[in-house]
Amino acid sequence: RVYPKAYPGIPYNEESINRITGDIPNLVPVIQATNEFSGSIFAITTQKLGKPIAQMLFPAIRNPLITLEDPREIEDIVLRRNKEFDKAPMAIDTFSPMFPHASISQFTTPKLKAQKRLWADVMGVEFLRKAAAPNIYKATLELLDLWRLKATVYKNEAFSVHQDFQNAALDAIWVAMIGEEPGVTRYEIKKFHSEVAGNSDYTNEAPPRGSFLKEEVAYIGQTIARNSNTPSPKWAQKLETYTRRYRKFRRTVTTEIGLAMEKAVDRFQRLEMGNLEAEELDTCMMDLVLRRQVLEAKKANRPLTDPREDQSMMDEMFVMLVGGHDSTANALTWFVKFMEAYPVAQVKLRAALKAAFPDGDPSVDEIIGTDIPYLDAACEEGFRFAGVAKGNLRQATMDTEILGCRIPKGAQIFMNYHVNRTPAPVDESARTDGSKAAAAKFGDGFQNIAGRDLGTFEPRRWMVKETTGKEVFNSHALPSLSFGGGYRGCPGRKLATMEFRIVVTLLILNLEFLDLPENLKTMSASEKIFREPDKPYARLRSLR
């Protein structure tokens, strides 16, 4: 009774069914060798068996984990099969003990839908353009100042870029969410100047608010990553919530957000009804959500409940802060590595940007509003090849099928969102009607040039020639899975894409990413919450 029980009809490793520990002895050495948890699960199941779908076996007390690697099928599940599949318990367990009221910690219920509606507008392109883009632009100019300085001081030496991207991304997300600048990069510039000059003046100055915020966000990110790799992530996270360190995190961030909330509510409370409808009052995401709550309370003639007591609001903001800055920082770190490793793409991207902006640094509106197909393609390719959020989960909410295999209600499916290898062959007749219709409409990119050499960085796979001969960006060239998709897809996608576009444009126009020494060229990664490069280095030359 303790031997693994496989789901019938889904491929598995024969040797593992006759072993109480199932696939675990196969998995452990691969994780130890690679440091990549999700990658190892796919390596010992789908990839080892050469199948698009397989299962990982555990001792009988635990059901197998179904693994799925076919990008077309994954896209179909997340985009078109929301009635059959919802968020999986294993995914919920990662965040729910710490942030039980955030949307990421909930199954799809009417309560979640109301919460998502409240936040949906802050992630709309128009709002982001107004509230987030100018601050991201400003944070990137500060990052450029720091890197120009580093390029001069370090001359030919490489330096790690990950921390700097984390600081800039934290500056950007905090000001976009809360409306106040944390000043982390500015502080780093001062610190670097002082260090170069050989004095330690900066230590006399109180660090900006962002510095301790950074410490708190780093703590929570590391804790979630560490606990996710234990045998029982849910209990490891739960135990953490009783520690003094966790309580300090919660207290510090709640106080910071609470102070900003108080000011915003006070401002809105004093406004007359007519004025409260005015969207131009919102300077950040929190403003928009709070203003709506004040408006609703005034309309209903009831007192406003203290937003600091609103756990849904607090938890949602915590998750956005933690998830929203580290994901983008890692994606940008990978991008910089790709620029070094693929110099032809770097030169082409710079040429496309120079052609679009011949007069020097473009404004933020120009960066967002100008049509530059090669830039769109390079950003999309950067997200694809980085695969920062590699393994993601769904649970079957009814008995159903995937690629002709029977999937019982309750089974959890671990899907590979990192499209970096040619998929295993699939019997087309086993696909759903939705999947076949999508391929008929957009084409099956894996059958043409877009799907070639997926282990290399090649923006042109996302471009097509129109009949006029003009090359345009084709977002459907391949399934785009970096942000998942459908109702439970990433709500921060537009924000991350906007940030990526602004940062990439300014960096490539102003800096050249030079060849790295052999020992820093590796593309090996470690998976924490996100996939991080082991050698996040760059060597720079300032172009202006």
Tokens standing for residue 512: 């050249």
**C-alpha to C-alpha distance for 263 and 169, rounded to whole angstroms:** 24
Of residues 82-101, which lie at the interface with ligand HEM (CB under 6 A)? 87
Output the smallest distance, CB 206 to ligand HEM, in A: 28
Part of the chain binding ligand HEM (CB under 6 A), chosen from 14-22, 264-272, 291-299, 321-329: 321-329
4 vs 536, beta carbon nearer ligand HEM: 536
Output the smallest distance, CB 179 to ligand HEM, in A: 15
- Non-local (6+) Cβ contacts of 371 within 8 A are none
90 vs 189, beta carbon nearer ligand HEM: 90
Task: Give the sign of the dihedral formed by CA 336, CA 338, CA 339, CA 341.
Answer: positive
158 vs 525, beta carbon nearer ligand HEM: 525
Confirm or reject binding of residue 331 to ligand HEM (CB under 6 A). yes
11 vs 182, beta carbon nearer ligand HEM: 182
Per DSSP, what are the bridge partners of residue 465?
A: 471
Residue from 484, 502, 509, 529 touching ligand HEM (CB under 6 A): that is 484
Confirm or reject binding of residue 483 to ligand HEM (CB under 6 A). yes
**C-alpha to C-alpha distance for 488 and 104, rounded to whole angstroms:** 8
Residue from 47, 140, 293, 328 touching ligand HEM (CB under 6 A): that is 328
Residue from 96, 482, 505, 510 touching ligand HEM (CB under 6 A): that is 482
Total residues contacting ligand HEM by CB under 6 A comes to: 26
Residue 497 near residue 129, CB atoms below 8 Å: no
27 vs 317, beta carbon nearer ligand HEM: 317
Q: Is 517 left (phi over 0), alpha (psi -120 to 50) or beta?
A: beta
Output the smallest distance, CB 119 to ligand HEM, in A: 8
**C-alpha to C-alpha distance for 345 and 457, rounded to whole angstroms:** 8
Confirm or reject binding of residue 323 to ligand HEM (CB under 6 A). yes
Of residues 99-118, which lie at the interface with ligand HEM (CB under 6 A)? 103-104
490 is in an annotated binding site: yes
Q: What's the distance, CA 412 to chain centroid?
A: 22
100 vs 489, beta carbon nearer ligand HEM: 489
Longest dimension (CA), the chain: 73
| Encoded amino acid at 295, one letter | L
User: If you search the block for the tokens 């409260």, which residue do you land on?
Assistant: 276
383 vs 473, beta carbon nearer ligand HEM: 383
DSSP for 157-187, please give it. --EE-HHHHHHHHHHHHHHHHHSS---HHHH
Confirm or reject binding of residue 286 to ligand HEM (CB under 6 A). no
Residue 417-446 contact track with ligand HEM, rule CB under 6 A, x = bound:
x-----------------------------
Task: Give the sign of the dihedral formed by CA 262, CA 264, CA 265, CA 271.
Answer: positive
Output the smallest distance, CB 530 to ligand HEM, in A: 7
Residue 394 near residue 88, CB atoms below 8 Å: yes
11 vs 323, beta carbon nearer ligand HEM: 323
Residue 380 near residue 474, CB atoms below 8 Å: no
Of residues 33-92, which lie at the interface with ligand HEM (CB under 6 A)? 78, 87
Residue 45 near residue 67, CB atoms below 8 Å: yes
Output the smallest distance, CB 78 to ligand HEM, in A: 5
Residue 294 near residue 304, CB atoms below 8 Å: yes
Q: What is the total residue count of the chain?
A: 544
Part of the chain binding ligand HEM (CB under 6 A), chosen from 65-73, 218-226, 463-471, 480-488: 480-488
Part of the chain binding ligand HEM (CB under 6 A), chosen from 206-214, 327-335, 345-353, 439-447: 327-335
Among 535, 537, 530, 536, residue whose Cα is nearest residue 39: 530
Angle subtended at Cα 398 by Cα 230 and Cα 493, rounded to the nearest 5 degrees: 60
Residue list, annotated binding site: 490
Site residues (CB under 6 A) for ligand HEM?
78, 87, 103-104, 319-320, 323-324, 327-328, 331, 388-389, 392, 417, 482-485, 488-492, 495-496
Residue list, annotated binding site for heme: 490
